[in-house]
């Protein structure tokens, strides 16, 4: 069969790799000069930068993403890493000497003695959720399904709570509650709309200390966080090489204008230059609304799918300042990644974000040092730094192009609280706004990380109302994230093949 894949980001590359592995003819179309989507590097002078803080779970040996890549003979050079957290009134930095897997619990008891009992209860709940997570990641044999069900029983009563309700159940101090819901800012999410069980799953203790053992009783039990040495774009490059070495074609600098639909079936694509290319299967990615309303046509969708497109919530955008510097920021920070929060009220911050009001760094930002795991990104003796924060796609006042220099200055000034004198040491800088990411991702509304994880929200399913047309990527039913996108694309491919039999 011949597959036409629209979008050469991670989802399109995984879907295409699965197809060529099975001996099918594959053509991937991407508008950019290099494959990978937001995994591609950003360049400024002699420096290269990743598109944000790519410290990821599920990628270490034995973990799901690593296992998927191994199917294509891809084995990456990885390094475990962790992150520090700066809250408005206190810091959570890993201790110089290892104090065990629950050092954060003990330190928080000292900071919040009134919540000591709640912290003990939370970590008992956390341990049970790690058992659930372990069982979810096992190959689901009948015995594993039974084990999963048994592990879920002790936490089932929390499954009816939102994230905000869950942290209020365990903790009374809002400053402590914010520590466990703050990570939801990455998803532009209000804790009142997110499933409560997301709290432990997005606050894995291994993400805050890379010395925590991942094994238990001789088996891999916990998930770890790590970087790809040399940069995460190596994933895209390895997948691209696998596809082309096995007969697939990747057409870069190529825009697909329409999906050809004949008798209710996807039959190929029409390129922006008018070229018609036939295919047996078409898979699209990117913005769900753009893809279906512009490339497919609303008339081919049923009412249920239209409702999903009308109601699901894509994430907002990001604002980044990439800087080449003449000192090592990781040495000053004590880490390669630091979350710097500026507010305890994530609900209010999210409301402002969605109304188009950029917080100008006041609500928080991240400091990320990509040259920590990819020293070749910077000239000898120099280093890379990215200051990153969430931002509205469209500003309620002004526009990104006219405001970006001012916003960059303000963000770097705020970063000097943690990196004193930073601006004096910058040799080059590059600003990336929502407008830049709209162009890169071919979206009319920038949505950097996929969809907001709103509880009970339905995202556009892989299987569409059009026969032999499939939707994949970070705005599809799998949502965003490295493994979610990759595993979702692989799952969509397998379902596609089953439907053709």
**How far, rounded to the nearest angstrom, does the alpha carbon of residue 90 sit from its chain's CA centroid?**
27
Give residue 52's pLDDT.
83
* 461 and 422 co-located in one domain: no
* 308 and 295 co-located in one domain: yes
Give residue 139's pLDDT.
80
* 107 and 165 co-located in one domain: yes
Give residue 447's pLDDT.
85
Find out whether 240 and 231 touch, Cβ atoms under 8 Å.
Answer: no
Distance CA 136, CA 444 (A): 36
Beta strands in 157-248 (DSSP E): 215-216, 219-220, 225-228
Q: Which DSSP helix (H) or strand (E) runs through 84?
A: strand 84-86
Distance CA 294, CA 309 (A): 13
* 174 and 110 co-located in one domain: yes
Query: Of 393, 417, 441, which residue constitutes the final position of a domain?
Result: 441
Any domain includes 149: yes
DSSP 460-483: PPSB-SSBTEEE-STTSTT-SSHH
Sequence-distant (6+) residues with CB within 8 A of 452 are: 187, 188, 189, 193, 313, 314, 315
* 152 and 184 co-located in one domain: yes
Sign of CA dihedral 181, 182, 184, 189: positive
Give residue 107's pLDDT.
97
Any domain includes 377: yes
Q: Which DSSP helix (H) or strand (E) runs through 145?
A: helix 142-152
The Cβ-side half-sphere exposure at 124, using a 13 Å CA radius, reads: 9
* 197 and 109 co-located in one domain: yes
Give residue 30's pLDDT.
97
Any domain includes 192: yes
Any domain includes 60: no
Any domain includes 62: no
* 391 and 417 co-located in one domain: yes
* 326 and 421 co-located in one domain: yes
Distance CA 440, CA 434 (A): 10
Distance CA 297, CA 201 (A): 37
Distance CA 59, CA 227 (A): 8
Give the total number of structural domains in the chain: 3
* 462 and 359 co-located in one domain: no
Sequence-distant (6+) residues with CB within 8 A of 256 are: 6, 29, 269, 270, 271, 272, 284, 295
Structural Rg of the chain based on CA atoms: 23
Q: Which of 447, 396, 456, 437 is nearest to 188 (CA)?
A: 447
Please list the ranges in the chain whose pLDDT falls under 50: none
* 323 and 429 co-located in one domain: yes
Distance CA 209, CA 94 (A): 6
Q: Are strands 47-49 and 42-44 parallel, antiparallel or unpaired?
A: antiparallel
CA 482 vs CA 30, 55, 280: distances in Å: 19, 10, 28
Query: In the structure encoding, which two tokens stand for residue 192, read together?
Result: 């009142």
Distance CA 237, CA 308 (A): 33
Residue 362: count of CB within 10 angstroms of its CB: 14
Distance CA 306, CA 461 (A): 11
Burial 128-162 (b: 16+ CB within 10 A, else e): bbbbbbbbebeeeeeeeeebbeebbeebeebeebb
Domain holding 381, by residue range, is 317-441
Any domain includes 300: yes
* 111 and 137 co-located in one domain: yes
247-303 pLDDT tens trace: 999 999 999 999 999 999 999 999 999 999 999 999 999 999 999 999 999 999 999
Any domain includes 432: yes
* 298 and 368 co-located in one domain: no
Any domain includes 247: yes
Query: In the structure encoding, which two tokens stand for residue 365, read together?
Result: 């930002």
Distance CA 252, CA 233 (A): 16
Find out whether 240 and 13 touch, Cβ atoms under 8 Å.
Answer: yes
CA 382 vs CA 39, 330, 447: distances in Å: 23, 12, 32
313-332 pLDDT tens trace: 999 999 999 999 999 999 99
Question: With 0-12 CB in 10 A as exposed, 13-18 as middle and 19+ as buried, what is 445?
Answer: middle
Say which CATH number the domain at 468 has: 3.50.50.60
């Amino acid at each position: 069969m011949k597959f036409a894949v629209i979008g050469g980001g991670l989802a399109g590359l995984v879907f295409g790799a699965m197809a060529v592995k099975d001996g099918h003819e594959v053509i991937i179309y991407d508008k950019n000069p290099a494959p990978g989507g937001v995994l591609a590097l950003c360049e400024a002078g002699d420096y290269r930068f990743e598109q944000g803080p790519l410290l990821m779970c599920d990628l270490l040996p034995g973990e799901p993403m690593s296992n998927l890549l191994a199917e294509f003979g891809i084995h990456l050079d990885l390094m475990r890493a962790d992150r520090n957290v700066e809250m408005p009134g206190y810091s959570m930095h890993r201790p110089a000497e290892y104090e065990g897997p629950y050092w954060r619990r003990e330190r928080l008891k000292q900071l919040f003695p009134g919540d000591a009992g709640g912290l003990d209860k939370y970590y008992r709940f956390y341990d049970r959720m790690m058992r659930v997570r372990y069982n979810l990641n096992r190959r689901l044999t009948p015995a594993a399904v039974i084990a999963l069900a048994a592990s879920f029983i002790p936490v089932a009563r929390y499954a009816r709570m939102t994230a905000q309700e869950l942290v209020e159940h365990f903790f009374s101090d809002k400053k402590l509650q914010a520590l466990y819901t703050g990570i939801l800012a990455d998803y532009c999410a209000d804790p009142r709309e997110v499933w409560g069980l997301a709290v432990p799953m997005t606050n894995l203790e291994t993400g805050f200390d890379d010395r925590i053992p991942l094994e238990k009783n001789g088996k891999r039990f916990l998930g770890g966080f790590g970087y790809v040495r040399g940069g995460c774009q190596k994933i895209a490059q390895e997948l691209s090489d696998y596809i082309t070495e096995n007969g697939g074609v990747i057409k870069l600098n190529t825009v697909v204008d329409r999906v050809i639909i004949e008798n209710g079936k996807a039959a190929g694509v029409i390129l922006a230059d008018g070229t018609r290319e036939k295919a047996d299967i078409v898979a699209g990615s990117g913005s769900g609304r753009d893809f279906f309303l512009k490339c497919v046509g609303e008339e081919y969708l049923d009412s249920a799918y239209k409702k999903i497109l009308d109601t699901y919530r894509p994430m907002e955008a990001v604002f980044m300042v990439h800087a080449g510097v003449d000192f090592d920021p990781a040495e000053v920070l004590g880490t390669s990644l630091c979350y710097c929060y500026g507010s305890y009220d994530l609900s209010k911050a999210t409301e402002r974000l969605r109304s188009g009001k950029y917080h100008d760094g006041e609500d928080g930002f991240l400091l990320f040092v990509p040259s920590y795991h990819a020293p070749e990104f910077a000239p000898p003796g120099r280093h890379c730094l990215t200051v990153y924060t969430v931002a509205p796609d469209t500003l309620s006042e002004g526009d990104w192009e006219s405001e970006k220099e001012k916003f960059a200055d303000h963000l770097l000034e705020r970063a000097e609280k943690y990196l004193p004198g930073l601006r004096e040491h910058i040799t080059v800088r590059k600003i990336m706004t929502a407008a830049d990411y709209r162009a890169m991702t071919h979206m009319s509304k920038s949505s950097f990380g996929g969809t907001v994880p709103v509880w009970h929200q339905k995202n556009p399913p892989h299987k569409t109302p059009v026969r032999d047309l499939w939707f994949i990527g970070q705005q599809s039913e799998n949502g965003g994230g490295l493994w979610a996108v990759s595993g979702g694309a692989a799952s969509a491919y397998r379902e596609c093949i089953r439907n053709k039999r």
